[in-house]
Amino acid sequence: MTSSKVYLITGGNRGIGFELVKELSKDENNFVIATVRDPSKNDEFKVFSESKKNVSAVKLDFDKDSDIDGLGGQLGKLTDKVDVFISNAGISDAYHEVVEASKEDYFTHYRVNALAPVFIFQKVYPFLKKSDIKKAVFVSTAACSFSEFLPLRVSAYGSSKAALNFSVLQLSSELVNEGFTIFAAHPGMVSSDMGKVGLEKLPQIVPDIEKYFADSLVVITPEQSALGLSKVIEASDSQYNGKFYYYDGSAHNF
């Protein structure tokens, strides 16, 4: 159906996801499909996507099983394969210690950050199998690292992303013999809408936050994050499988 290099990006209408769409669609040989909750919403993404022949959108609300179940049908109308799947959509809106976090904090973060990416990958898998590239990149976070633990009081967010990382490792092991390259990526401390909330709240919760970072608390823009991630994704090969990379190209332990 298409000879272009096909990217599928979840949460492609805002923040890092939108910047990835803009960055990757600069190459007219790429066809970029973004998932959005409401494709009819008259926002910046809609204006942009309608101005680009190589950008399209599909409806996907993580809270609706019918949207996840119907994703394959929507993709099938646009392409017969997906070369690169970027699982970008996620949430981080609970800044509590473990003893204070609510059930809803945990349930919501696990549903969106840990479970939905797996269920969506299951629907995308048949399209990835038809590609010669077969890449899946799951946007994770340094905040869930075991080897470089950061006491940031984001228990629901951090643990849900740690659960996602386990699925990344599991998938990378299960599908390596099928030629897949599957890895996790940290986008950096980003001044997106979601990131700005964290940047405002975390210093209040962890007053000495800067001492937990190697240099300083470096904040980057969504554009910088997307540019870095796109370079990492483009450079990735079989050696990246089952690994954890930062947006700057450096490899880290989970």
Q: Which residues carry out catalysis?
A: 157, 161
Residues constituting the chain: 254
Alpha-carbon span 214 to 4, nearest angstrom: 41
For residue 86, what are the CA distances in angstroms to 121, 132, 233, 236, 248?
Answer: 10, 16, 9, 13, 17
Where would I find the H helices in the chain? Answer: 15-24, 44-50, 65-69, 71-76, 103-109, 116-129, 155-174, 193-205, 222-235
- Taking a C-beta distance cutoff of 8 angstroms, is the pair 233, 240 a contact? no
Alpha-carbon span 120 to 112, nearest angstrom: 11
Q: Are strands 251-252 and 244-246 parallel, antiparallel or unpaired?
A: antiparallel
Tokens 């969106």 label which residue?
112
- Taking a C-beta distance cutoff of 8 angstroms, is the pair 186, 252 a contact? yes
Tokens for 178? 């099928």
Alpha-carbon span 55 to 33, nearest angstrom: 6
- Taking a C-beta distance cutoff of 8 angstroms, is the pair 171, 165 a contact? no
Write the DSSP assignment of 181-204 as a string of letters.
EEEEEE--EE-SHHHHHHHHHHHH
